[in-house]
């Protein structure tokens, strides 16, 4: 039996300032929110090439919203291990038309985040209708990111990573994994606030799978409550990732749904507020069940 199993650890989320975006309330601590992955790339690790046309992207976005996604996370740059960096113009061409199309489609009120490490892409996407910036580098790759987000007055998700997607899996040696993640994220929160971003507009992501081994990913899930004192909603992305494949001996990311479900349930138990997922419909049911167990909700 795992020691330190949480006893109401999610109650701490209820102290966070609620959000309201496009009429949708985010009442932290009351339920888990789902961020649906919309990769408009040819080379993402599990769905590359499936949604990199405008028509396919809009159709997938509408499906994700119908299945229960609270946020659509649009990304035009793969962040899988060993991924090459695309040019700025290519990333803009992939992302901005999709955001624009989503704003005039049936799900025009959907909340959209843009998954990018470039300030220019963030700015263009927000101006096209996106609502949140999701930066896997915690705004360390582009020094203009925090000033731009401050200017745009939108929320930002800051993730822990070492190196780049090209090099990160060579950088998994930690003296104290959770302490280093905590310290990194604390510094990035301070930097964001110093740039003029309100502290209640920051989301934190421990970066499961980014410069982490299988065992370290499991440790992150067990020790998520250690990040609670940073005072921000916690975003966790475990969906279809390689550590699940390793444990299940399942090389096909598309066949890791049940492993993802188990990891998502654990993340909820250990205080996650948002889950970034590919398979929204089954994870919606996971969230409903796990929330009924772990959160103080009325059935």
Residues with active-site annotation? 241, 276
Distance CA 264, CA 156 (A): 22
Give Cα 248 distance to the centre of its chain.
Answer: 23
Contact (Cβ atoms closer than 8 angstroms) between residue 38 and residue 62: no
CA 144-170-257 angle, 5° bins:
85
Measure the N-to-C terminal CA separation of the chain; round to a whole number of Å: 29
Contact (Cβ atoms closer than 8 angstroms) between residue 104 and residue 69: no
Q: 60: alpha, beta or left, given left = phi > 0 and alpha = psi -120 to 50? A: alpha
Distance CA 238, CA 220 (A): 11
Which residues are bridge partners to 73 per DSSP? 37, 113
């Amino acid at each position: 039996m795992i020691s330190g199993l949480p006893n109401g650890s999610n109650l701490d989320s209820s102290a966070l300032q609620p959000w309201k975006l496009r009429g949708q309330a985010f009442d932290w601590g009351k339920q888990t929110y789902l961020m649906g992955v919309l990769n408009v790339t040819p080379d993402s690790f599990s769905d590359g090439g499936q949604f990199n046309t405008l028509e396919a992207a809009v159709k997938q976005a509408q499906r994700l919203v119908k299945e229960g996604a609270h946020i659509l996370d649009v990304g035009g740059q793969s962040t899988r291990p060993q991924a090459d960096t695309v040019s700025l113009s290519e990333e803009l061409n992939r992302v901005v038309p999709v955001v624009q199309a989503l704003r005039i489609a049936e799900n025009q009120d959907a909340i959209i985040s843009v998954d990018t490490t470039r300030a220019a892409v963030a700015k263009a996407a927000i101006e096209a209708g996106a609502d949140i910036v999701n930066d896997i580098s915690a705004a360390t790759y582009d020094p203009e990111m925090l000033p731009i987000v401050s200017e745009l007055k939108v929320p930002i998700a800051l993730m822990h990573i070492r190196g780049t997607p090209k090099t990160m899996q060579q950088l998994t040696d930690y003296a104290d994994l959770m302490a280093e993640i905590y310290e990194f994220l604390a510094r990035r929160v301070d930097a964001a606030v110093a740039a003029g971003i309100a502290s209640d507009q920051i989301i934190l992501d421990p970066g499961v799978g980014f410069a982490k081994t299988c065992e370290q990913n499991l440790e992150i899930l067990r020790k998520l409550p250690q990040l609670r004192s940073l005072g921000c909603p916690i975003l966790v992305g475990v969906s279809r990732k390689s550590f699940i494949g390793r444990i299940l001996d399942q090389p096909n990311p598309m066949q890791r749904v049940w492993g993802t479900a188990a990891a998502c349930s654990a993340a909820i138990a250990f205080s996650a507020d948002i889950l970034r997922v590919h398979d929204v419909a089954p994870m919606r049911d996971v969230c409903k069940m796990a929330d009924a167990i772990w959160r103080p909700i009325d059935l």
